[in-house]
Amino acid sequence: MKLRKSLEKGAEGLLLFCALLSTLAVLFITIFLFHRGLPLFRKVPIAEFLFSTDWSPTAASPKYGILSFILGSFYVTALALAFAVPVGLAVGVYLAELAEKKASRAIRSAVEILAGIPSVVYGLFGIAIISAVTRTLFGGTGYSLLSASIVLAIMTLPTIINVTEVSLRAVPHELKEGSLALGATHWQTIYKVLVPTARSGIIAGVVLGMGRAIGETMAVLMVGGNAPIPPSGLTGKVRTLTMNIITDMSYAKDDHLTSLFATGIVLFVFILTLNLVVQLALKRTISSVEGGQGA
């Protein structure tokens, strides 16, 4: 009995240590990032850094404006989600509610393979196929905002599909059975009962997909065109925040290097704010559901 209690306490201590280690890792990364990036703002005003499109760090009078890259990240992520969310939601609903066992097994295996493909392979696929298709259909060089968004949409699909399916399967069977017993069709039950009930989980999947889209570098670098200018349209070249960091890091020094860490701060704050907003939204959703059930 004493040995069992000792093992339980040891397991609790190990879990607590792992949790603290994760927290400390985030804390140290945050401190390091701000320590390396904040000194830039002693020389460059924050407003100029955030709202200027003039990025010329190697010029005689260097300029460090990242608005082009902020807009590029926003456009690429938004367009990728516009492509991926409807498809991912549809496939997740199909796997959870409509697919037969054989079809479900085959599709799920394909989704798992899709999730395991390295980003550089997605980039090669984008260069060989997607860029060629967009160049033929819409003109331009093919290395564009549209091509990058399509590649990112494909990359985020597995996350959205898996989380949507799991969320729908987690809905209590009583809700589905009650809806069908009241005379609702299967489709009515899906979009009026199951999907609204699983909304918090589905939103979490979309956020995870958004996080991958924002943080992705290699695939977008290979098909986006990597031009340090504001996006001129769907067929225009684009550079995101992550692309800017990886492009200049190999030769940057002094203030140029510091500006890349400052770019990392912007990306960090953006993702942190996004997560906080989503968590608040999920809490409100859960509260409203519980309030409705209580009523």
Closest CA to 205 of 158, 153, 155, 160: 160
Q: Please state the pTM of the whole predicted model.
A: 0.85
Q: What local confidence, expressed as pLDDT, does residue 214 receive?
A: 81
CA atoms of 290 and 295, how far apart (whole Å)? 9
Q: Report the largest interatomic distance among the alpha carbons of the chain, rounded to a whole angstrom.
A: 75
Question: For the chain, which residues make up each domain, given as ranges?
Answer: 2-42, 55-294
Question: How do residues 191-214 score in pLDDT, each as one tens digit?
Answer: 888 888 888 788 888 887 887 788
- Of the pLDDT bands very low, low, confident and very high (cuts 50, 70, 90), residue 171 is confident
Q: Go through 195-234 and write b for each residue having 16 or more CB atoms within 10 A of its CB, e for each that does not.
A: bebbbbbbbbbbbbbbbbbbebbebbbbbbbbbbebbeeb
Mean pLDDT is highest, among 182-186, 201-205, 265-269, for 265-269
Topology adopted by domain 55-294: MetI-like fold (1.10.3720)
